Structure formats: C-alpha cells, structure tokens
C-alpha cells in the first residue's frame, strides 16, 4: 500500500526523491480521511517553500485541508490534470502527484518517515 521508495510526513504527504527533484503527493490515508476530493489548489511554478510551509490545499465535499511541503524547494512542475480531475487523488493517491520541486536541502529527507514508520504512525 505505501511504497518503500517514498518518504512520508505526519501531515500525510509523501515525497519521492530522484536526483535533485522531489515529487510530492498526499497519501492513501489522507485521501481516505478526506473523502471525495473535488478541488485542488496548487502553487505557481517558480514559487519557493520552506519545509513545513503550506503550499496548497485539497478540498473534499465536506472539508478543506492544507498541504505542507515535506521538503524545502522551488516548484518546477504542477500536475495540471488535477484541476479537471481532482478525483484522481482518491483513485490513485500514490500516482497522482501534486507538484515537483527542486530540492534546496536534500538532507531534509532524513527527517521524514519511512513507509514502515508511517504505517505505524497511522495505525495501519
């Protein structure tokens, strides 16, 4: 369920690091807690976020939830497909990424949870 190649936050984001790029999404647990996702608010390309800063939000039918940057960096790409198909975050949360960032401090990744630790954290 939770890919080993990702690292996770306690706020239920995942990040996959390849070279100097981090791909960020929300976890299966997050989408399950939110329910039907109907709206995604993402930043502009070029925006910079520090680790832990709010960079966007996802909204389900019943609630809005901020998304926090798992790592510091500059936004390289956003997943435009989510604007018209936000339900992809429910259907395939670990494929439907939100943004890609250029890592500013690759060492930050060590502070994040492993797949095993994340599953313990959420009680899965």
If one asks whether residue 64 binds other proteins (CB under 8 A), the answer comes out as yes
- CA–CA–CA angle 97, 101, 102 (5° rounding): 150
- In sequence order, the β-bridge partners of residue 24 are 15, 99
Q: How far is CA 117 from CA 16, 20, 27, 56, 80, in A?
A: 16, 24, 14, 25, 31
**How far, in Å, CA of 30 to CA of 28, rounded?**
5
If one asks whether residue 11 binds other proteins (CB under 8 A), the answer comes out as no
Sole binder of other proteins in the list 1, 4, 46, 62 (CB under 8 A): 62
CB of 31 to other proteins, least distance (A): 11
If one asks whether residue 39 binds other proteins (CB under 8 A), the answer comes out as yes
Sole binder of other proteins in the list 11, 16, 21, 38 (CB under 8 A): 38
For other proteins, the binding residues (CB under 8 A) are: 35-36, 38-39, 57, 59-62, 64
């Amino acid at each position: 369920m939770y890919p080993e190649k990702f690292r996770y936050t306690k706020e239920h984001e995942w990040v996959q690091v390849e070279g100097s790029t981090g791909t960020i999404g929300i976890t299966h647990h997050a989408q399950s807690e939110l329910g039907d996702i109907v709206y995604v608010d993402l930043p502009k390309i070029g925006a910079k976020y520090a680790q832990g800063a709010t960079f966007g939000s996802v909204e389900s039918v019943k609630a809005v939830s901020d998304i926090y940057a798992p790592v510091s960096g500059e936004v390289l790409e956003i997943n435009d497909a989510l604007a018209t198909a936000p339900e992809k975050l429910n259907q395939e949360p670990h494929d439907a990424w939100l943004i890609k960032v250029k890592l500013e401090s690759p060492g930050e990744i060590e502070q994040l949870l492993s797949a095993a630790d994340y599953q313990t954290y959420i009680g899965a």
